[in-house]
């Protein structure tokens, strides 16, 4: 479509507005109620233009072929200025202070500060820890309301009042702090006047004077690009980057606001060494000499396999690369693992077996274009909020949704079909869906003939998984199963998104394989007929930690340590022989410590005493190991038990890269220096190597990534310099001159035979089931305001939003056991006992309980078992048999 703007012809796509036409012609008009991400409303009248002789608000008026638009006419300029001036006149004078959107616009339009002469005394709402409302500055433009609905999908805000009294308010009617607001900060970011601000940055603040650093969020695996604003060596604000490739200007409460921990007085700022009296501050030299000496002694007395390291999914790729190199080259052992062992190791194993590579199959932008989403064992609304919000928007716009999850949370309330399988029955559920796909002819025969293998074996296995039998195993009604299979089976572009509800099971790898079967049967992977199978990674860099080879059986880039070719390539780059046998997995490390075989355990950025299952046994292991080194931000439960504590930098103090959930490398840049003597993990590993008399090379993080590319060709095309230029690059990417492969397997799968591998796996029962002694099943997971062990979020305002761990109990169970809402209850499993406040809710099914483990004091992982995935040792966090009783004093 072609229109002319002040005589300049411009070509526009169908559906474009006059505002797009104006901008395409290189001109601009003021806007106040407009945000490109939101539905235009044309209420402020600041963008008036003339179209074929009549006045129109450019933001809401569609462009039409042959239209003549006038912008730069004196009367139009005057009308636009008048529109803004009228709005400003109702505001108090301080509205034009600082360098916010309205203040900048008034400067451009030469509207003097004296024009602001209002101020109705409508008052403030400071009840929320992260969002402040000054009602006198609200111009009722509705941007915040639309942001909350159209981007975040929470619908927490509304406009109340009439005429000039109209203003924003929480939809629940009470104070903001008691509303449904999830503190994504979208309303604050879009507010043009400063009516909505965040603590410490009132209207009038000159943000342009702050130092601004672009980095990648260090909380979850979504990988939001963030701009960090620093003033006086403190983070003043974090803003989601509008050009962020994943988040597109959005963020969540954690990345946006939970940075208060950085300057917490509890930050570790000095190395600590255990003496008779306890942990005492020492110099770096003393701490490192102590570790180096004990390392040498342990290796001399018991061999290199008496040393093990738990690397960190919180640390950068370069730090993980260096840690695994230290273990393999300096110590001489493959005893290095990372917390993907506890979350997505079944994804790595299952996806590699099915398709050839360990990551998700498709970029999220594609997944978002699917016409049917199958979301399994994931609650992205809380655990991956930016992705949850993007998925929800697609569903609100018509994408069909199947949710498979025992709990009724997040996306489930918007699902066309919500399957609620009994915990531990995923394989039966997926086999049941596959049975229906096959039985009703909803499979891609052509794809199966040419691009897949294993169909006869699968077909034979599926005979046993009729809807009725699957209903009996899973508790999912057969009709729901059929409805879900038909939705997925008849979609043109189906996509699967899944989380830890698939992996953290005794048969987690089988769960991933049988879930992948569905995409293979449909030909919906490696083609343009669907968007594959995509895990939502939990920690910020859990993908990268594994990519970098912080695994006991795999080198950087997933070459097997037992493969002489892969080992030889690493040996050549590192200039030394490498151990040929697999190292210990995390649970094996703890077992080796308990049995006296492990002499040194080095734990980087993980609070294993809080987050790992069967916590009492983990603590036994820590107590039994002669030297435990904890590299941490805070004196975590693990650090308290360590012999040496090394103070580490946080993600906001580091240089390097992370890999997000859809395999994108993105840059991490330091916004400020670590406090006191704290150092980056990169610097600590180098210093430890030096203390051991070794030189790891790779003087900088950029050099480390470059060296990694020589060991692992799949990363050879990725460098810091390229990421600085391009923002993000997905792997595999072996050539610096070519883009990375965001969408995998278009020509062939990366398996040895180039085919997708169907898996014929029977349903096997979980490690624990409800019985007479322990009749309830506990599921664990995350809550929206917190992150993992909570070491960071508990030391920020997020703790005001969610101050305790609580146990979700179904009303029927609560009634049967005389549990009152909020009352403390004793939860007992075969492994431990804890006391938690009860929260009575129908989000859980009868017979099931749910709890997070964000507060170490609640010791939730004292309950969970040591049952683990039979292939990868990933713990069975999602199924623990427990019993419940009211604490005696709560009965009184
Ligand atoms: Fe950070 Fe994840 Fe939130 Fe994005 S969604 S801001 S990556 S925690």
Helical (H) or strand (E) element with 56: strand 54-57
The atom number, within ligand 1, closest to the CA of 255 reads 6
Ligand 1 centroid, distance to 222 Cα (angstroms) = 6
Let me know whether 658 and 562 are in one domain.
Answer: yes
Q: What is the pLDDT of residue 890?
A: 55
Q: How far is the CA of 219 from the centre of ligand 1 (A)?
A: 6
219 close to ligand 1 (CB < 6 Angstrom): yes
Ligand 1 pocket member 223 (CB < 6 A): yes
Test site for ligand 1: of 152, 183, 217, 221, most ligand atoms within 8 A of the Cβ: 217
Question: Containing H/E element for 240?
Answer: strand 234-240
The residue among 202 and 811 whose pLDDT is bigger is 811
Tell me: do 448 and 468 sit in the same domain: yes
Q: Which atom of ligand 1 is nearest to the CA of 226?
A: 6
- Residue found by looking up tokens 């939101």 in the block: 38
Dist. CA 152 → ligand 1 center (Å): 13
Joined together, the tokens standing for residue 27 give: 């001109």
Q: Which of 492, 509, 535 is the last residue of a domain?
A: 535
- CATH number where 172 lies: 3.30.70.20
Domain co-membership, 334 together with 362: no
Structure tokens at 863: 């309950």
Is the model's pLDDT at 603 over the cut of 70?
yes
Cα–Cα distance for residue pair 386/152, rounded to 1 Å: 8
Which residue, 520, 535, 550, sits at the end of a domain? 535
Determine how many CB atoms are found less than 10 A away from the CB of residue 172: 14
What pLDDT score does 889 carry?
66
Residue 250 Cα to ligand 1 middle (Å):
9
Instruction: Answer yes or no: is the C-beta of 384 below 6 A from any ligand 1 atom.
Output: yes
Pocket test for ligand 1, best of 222, 651, 728 (most atoms within 8 A of CB): 222
The answer for residues whose C-beta is within 8 angstroms of residue 232's C-beta and 6 or more apart is none
Contact 675, 267 (CB under 8 A): yes
Establish if 766 belongs to a structural domain: no
d(CA 506, CA 765): 8
Query: Ligand 1 pocket check: which of 214, 218, 219 to mutate, most ligand atoms within 8 Å of Cβ?
Result: 219
**Does residue 184's CB lie within 6 angstroms of at least one atom of ligand 1?**
no
- As a whole number of angstroms, the distance between CA 303 and CA 306 comes to 6
Q: For residues 165 and 584, give the distance between their C-alpha atoms in angstroms, rounded to a whole number.
A: 66
Residue where a domain stops, chosen among 209, 230, 263: 263
Asked whether residue 753 is domain-assigned, the answer is: no
**Ligand 1 closest atom vs CA 220:** 2
What DSSP assignment string belongs to 811-837?
HHHHHHHTPPTT-EEEEEESS-EEEEE
Say if 727 falls within a structural domain: no
| Residue 625 in contact with ligand 1 by CB distance below 6 A | no
> Residue 119 — very low, low, confident or very high, per pLDDT cuts 50/70/90?
confident
If you take atom 3 of ligand 1, which residue's CA is the nearest one? 252
HEC profile for 326-340? Answer: HHHHHHCCCCEECHH
Cβ of 247 less than 6 Å from ligand 1: yes
**Residue 169, C-beta contacts closer than 8 angstroms, at least 6 positions apart:** 157, 158, 159, 160
d(CA 378, CA 384): 9
What range defines the domain where residue 50 resides?
2-89
Nearest to 558 by CA among 578, 574, 538, 543: 543
Atom from ligand 1 closest to the CA of residue 385: 5
Distance 659 CA to ligand 1 centre (A): 13
Same domain for 55 and 174, yes or no, is no
CB atoms within 10 A of CB 396: 13
Q: How does pLDDT run across 698-737, given as a tens digit for each residue?
A: 999 999 999 999 999 999 999 999 999 999 999 999 999 9
Q: Give tens-digit pLDDT for 130-176.
A: 999 999 999 999 999 999 999 999 999 999 998 888 999 999 999 99
Q: Is residue 706 part of a domain?
A: no
CATH code, 842:
2.40.40.20
Q: Is the pLDDT of residue 523 over 80?
A: yes
Which tens digit of pLDDT belongs to each residue from 191-229?
Answer: 999 999 998 888 888 888 999 999 999 999 999 999 999
Average pLDDT over residues 276-280: 95
CB 222 near ligand 1, within 6 Å: yes
- Our mutation pick for probing the ligand 1 site, out of 249, 255, 544, 652, counting the most ligand atoms within 8 A of Cβ, is 255
Token pair of 887 as six digits: 């604490």
> Is residue 254 in contact with ligand 1, taking CB distance under 6 Å?
yes
Q: Is 668 in the pocket of ligand 1 (CB under 6 A)?
A: no
Say if residue 432 is in the same domain as residue 388: yes
Whether residue 407 is found in the same domain as residue 498? yes
Residue 745 is assigned to a structural domain of this protein:
no
Write down the pLDDT at residue 98. Answer: 84
Distance between CA atoms of residues 771 and 774, nearest Å: 5
Same domain, yes or no, for 327 and 247? no
356 and 336 inside one domain: no
> Phi and psi of 826, rounded to 5°?
-95, 125
Span 95-116, average pLDDT? 90
- Establish if 748 belongs to a structural domain: no
C-beta of 395 in contact with ligand 1 (< 6 A): no
pLDDT tens for 361-419 read 999 999 889 999 999 999 999 999 999 999 999 999 999 999 999 999 999 999 999 99
> Which of 239, 251, 383 most suits a substitution to test ligand 1, by most atoms within 8 Å of the C-beta?
251
Same domain, 304 and 371: no
| Ligand 1 lined by 251 (C-beta under 6 Å) | yes
Q: Is residue 113 part of a domain?
A: no
On whether both 13 and 148 belong to a single domain, the answer is no
- Please tell me whether residues 333 and 456 are part of one structural domain: no
**Do 645 and 788 reside in the same domain of the chain?**
no
* pLDDT tops 90 at residue 328: yes
Report whether residue 217 contacts ligand 1, using a CB cutoff of 6 Å: yes
Q: Is 644 helix (H, G, I), strand (E, B) or coil?
A: strand
| Banded pLDDT at 479 (limits 50, 70, 90) | very high
Ligand 1 atom with least separation from CA of 222: 7
Count of domains in the chain? 5
CATH of the domain at 301: 3.40.50.740
Residue 253 Cβ contacting ligand 1 at under 6 Å? no
Residue 6 pLDDT greater than 70, yes or no: yes
> Residue whose CA is closest, atom 4 of ligand 1?
224
Across all residues in the chain, what is the average pLDDT? 95
Cβ 385 under 6 angstroms from ligand 1: yes
pLDDT of residue 704: 98
| pLDDT value at residue 891 | 53
CB 550 within 8 A of CB 323: yes
In a domain, 741, yes or no: no
Per-residue confidence (pLDDT) for residue 200, from 0 to 100: 86
| CA of residue 387 to ligand 1 center, whole Å | 9
Would you say the CB of residue 255 lies under 6 angstroms from ligand 1? yes
């Amino acid at each position: 479509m072609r229109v002319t703007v002040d005589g300049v012809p411009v070509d526009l796509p169908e559906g474009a507005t006059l505002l797009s036409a104006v901008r395409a012609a290189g001109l601009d008009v003021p806007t106040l109620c407009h945000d490109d991400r939101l539905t235009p409303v044309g209420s402020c009248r600041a963008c008036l233009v003339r179209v074929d002789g009549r006045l129109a608000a450019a933001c809401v008026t569609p462009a039409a072929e042959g239209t003549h638009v006038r912008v730069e006419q004196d009367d139009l300029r005057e009308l636009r200025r008048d529109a803004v001036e009228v709005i400003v006149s109702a505001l108090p004078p301080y509205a034009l202070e600082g360098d916010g959107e309205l203040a900048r616009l008034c400067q451009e339009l030469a509207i003097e500060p004296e024009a602001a002469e209002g101020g109705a005394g409508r008052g403030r709402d400071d009840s929320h820890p992260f969002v402040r409302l000054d009602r006198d500055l609200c111009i009722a433009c509705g941007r915040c309301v639309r942001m909350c609905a159209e981007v975040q999908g929470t619908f927490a805000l509304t406009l109340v009042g009439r005429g000039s009294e109209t203003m924003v308010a929480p939809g629940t009617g009470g104070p903001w702090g008691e509303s449904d607001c999830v503190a994504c900060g979208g309303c604050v970011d879009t507010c043009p006047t400063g009516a909505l601000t965040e603590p410490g940055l009132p209207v009038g603040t000159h943000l342009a004077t702050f130092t601004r650093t672009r980095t990648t969020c260090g909380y979850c695996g979504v990988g939001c690009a963030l701009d960090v604003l620093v003033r006086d060596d403190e983070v003043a604000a974090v803003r989601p980057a509008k050009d962020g490739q994943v988040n597109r200007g959005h963020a969540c409460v954690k990345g946006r606001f939970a940075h208060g921990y950085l300057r917490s007085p509890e930050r570790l700022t000095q190395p600590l060494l255990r003496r008779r009296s306890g942990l005492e501050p020492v110099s770096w030299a003393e701490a490192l000499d102590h570790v180096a000496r004990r390392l040498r002694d342990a290796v001399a007395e018991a061999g290199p396999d008496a040393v093990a390291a738990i690397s960190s999914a919180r640390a950068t790729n370069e730090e993980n690369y260096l840690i695994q190199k230290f273990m393999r080259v300096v110590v001489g052992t493959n005893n290095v693992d990372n917390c993907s062992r506890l979350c997505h190791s079944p994804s790595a194993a299952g996806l590699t077996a099915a398709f050839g590579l360990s990551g998700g199959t498709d970029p999220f932008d594609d997944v978002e274009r699917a016409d049917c989403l199958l979301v399994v064992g994931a609650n992205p609304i809380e655990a991956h909020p930016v992705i949850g919000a993007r998925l929800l928007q697609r569903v609100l716009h018509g994408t069909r949704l199947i949710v498979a999850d025992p709990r009724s949370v997040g996306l489930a309330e918007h699902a066309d079909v919500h399957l609620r399988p009994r915990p531990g029955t995923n394989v039966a559920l997926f086999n049941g869906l596959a049975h229906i796909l096959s039985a009703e002819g909803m499979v891609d025969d052509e794809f199966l003939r040419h691009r897949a293998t294993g169909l006869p074996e699968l077909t034979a296995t599926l005979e046993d998984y009729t809807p009725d039998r699957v209903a009996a195993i899973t508790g999912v009604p057969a009709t729901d199963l059929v409805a879900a299979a038909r939705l997925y089976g008849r979609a043109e572009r189906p996509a699967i998104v899944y989380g830890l509800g698939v992996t953290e099971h005794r048969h987690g790898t089988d769960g991933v394989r049988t879930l992948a079967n569905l995409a293979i049967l449909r030909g919906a992977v490696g083609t343009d007929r669907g968007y594959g199978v995509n895990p939502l990674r939990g920690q910020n860099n859990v993908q990268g930690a594994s990519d970098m080879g912080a695994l006991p059986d795999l080198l950087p880039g997933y070459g097997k340590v037992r493969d002489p070719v892969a080992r030889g390539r690493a040996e050549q780059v590192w200039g030394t022989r490498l151990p040929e046998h697999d190292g210990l997995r995390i649970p094996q490390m703890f077992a080796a410590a308990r049995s006296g075989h492990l002499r040194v355990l080095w734990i980087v950025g993980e609070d294993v005493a809080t987050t790992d299952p069967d916590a009492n046994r983990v603590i036994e292991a820590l107590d039994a190991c002669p030297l435990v080194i904890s590299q941490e931000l805070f004196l975590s439960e693990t650090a308290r038990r360590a012999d040496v504590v090394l103070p580490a930098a946080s993600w906001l103090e580091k240089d390097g890269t992370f890999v997000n959930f859809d395999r994108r490398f993105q840059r991490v840049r330091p916004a400020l220096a670590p406090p006191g003597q704290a150092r980056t993990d990169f610097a600590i590993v180098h210093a430890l190597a030096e203390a051991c008399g070794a030189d790891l090379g790779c003087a900088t993080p950029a050099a480390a990534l470059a060296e990694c590319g020589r060991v692992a060709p799949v990363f050879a095309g990725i460098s810091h310099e390229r990421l600085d230029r391009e923002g993000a690059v997905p792997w595999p990417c072996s050539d610096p001159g070519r883009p990375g492969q965001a969408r995998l397997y278009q020509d062939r799968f990366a398996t040895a035979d180039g085919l997708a591998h169907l898996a014929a796996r029977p349903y096997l029962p979980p490690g624990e089931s409800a019985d007479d002694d322990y009749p309830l099943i506990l599921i664990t997971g995350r809550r929206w305001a917190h992150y993992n062990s909570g070491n960071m979020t508990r030391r920020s305002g997020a703790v005001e939003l969610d101050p305790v761990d609580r146990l979700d109990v179904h009303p029927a169970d609560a009634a049967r056991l005389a549990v009152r809402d909020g009352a403390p209850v004793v939860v007992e499993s075969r492994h431990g006992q804890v006391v938690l406040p009860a929260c009575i809710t129908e989000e859980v099914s009868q017979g099931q309980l749910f709890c997070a483990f964000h507060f170490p004091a609640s010791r939730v992982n004292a309950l969970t078992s040591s049952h683990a995935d039979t292939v990868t040792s990933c713990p069975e966090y999602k199924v623990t048999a427990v019993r419940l009783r009211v604490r005696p004093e709560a009965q009184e």
